[in-house]
Amino acid sequence: MDKSQSDFNFWAAGYLLLVAAVIVLTSPKFEMQEISVDVQIPQALLCFDTQTQLLRTGDTNIGCFINEGTLGDSPLLPGGIRPSSINETFELRFLAAKAAAMTKGFEINITSGFRSQDLQARLFEDAVRRYGSEEEGAKWVLPDEISSHPWGLAIDINYPGDMLAVKWLEENGSVFGLCRVYENEWWHFEPIIAPGDKCPPMLENASTIFASSQGVEK
């Protein structure tokens, strides 16, 4: 094959490739696909080691080490299957707070945590008899179907003992995702925020929740 024939073949092949590319790109079935990359921005995540009693700040991308438990990155709320014990993440939040309190010279302990629905129902009945009505009783004890205790999401601390240590928890509990909920119950805490968020204003008592469950505005 002489040089002129070789050059012709080269340019002919190039032309055919160009035509083929144009046909593909202009075909109605051909669409340029956009590639999207989902970038997860890490959020702070508190990790607690129950053996060493050390609290460490990690992030949601890496998670906690195998010997640690996470305090979670959101409020802990009722729902799903009824538990038979205190919520594990909630308990870990309390243990982390307890360890921190001890470094400040305070001791906090759970005097009442998870309650069965039967026990909660009996406590509510006792409160109704003691205070004279369901509304008055609900200021101190909620019925089992709406109380957070049977969900394993409420704890009473140091009741009826050391209020000073509980005051420390009230002031610092938000770091661990723990909040005092009612003005009339200095001992009652729930995990209603993510660790590090700000606790909402306290309710005067639990009767507001009871009234809402009954469809009554208060």
| pLDDT digit string (tens) for the chain, length 218 residues | 555 555 545 555 555 555 555 554 555 554 556 666 566 688 889 999 999 999 999 999 999 999 999 999 999 999 899 999 999 999 999 999 999 999 999 999 999 999 999 999 999 999 999 999 999 999 999 999 999 999 999 999 999 999 999 999 999 999 999 999 999 999 999 999 999 999 999 999 999 999 998 886 65
197 belongs to a structural domain: yes
Domain range for 202 is 80-213
205 belongs to a structural domain: yes
101 belongs to a structural domain: yes
16 belongs to a structural domain: no
Looking at residue 106, which CATH number applies to its domain?
3.30.1380.10
Q: SS3 for 46?
A: strand
Amino acid 30: pLDDT: 45
How many whole angstroms from its chain centre is CA 35? 32
The total number of structural domains in the chain stands at 1
H/E segment holding residue 96 = helix 88-103
Burial 18-49 (b: 16+ CB within 10 A, else e): eeeeeeeeeeeeeeeeeeeeeeeeeeebbbbb
189 belongs to a structural domain: yes
- Is pTM beyond 0.85? Reply is no
50 belongs to a structural domain: no
154 belongs to a structural domain: yes
43 belongs to a structural domain: no
Amino acid 24: pLDDT: 47
Amino acid 215: pLDDT: 80
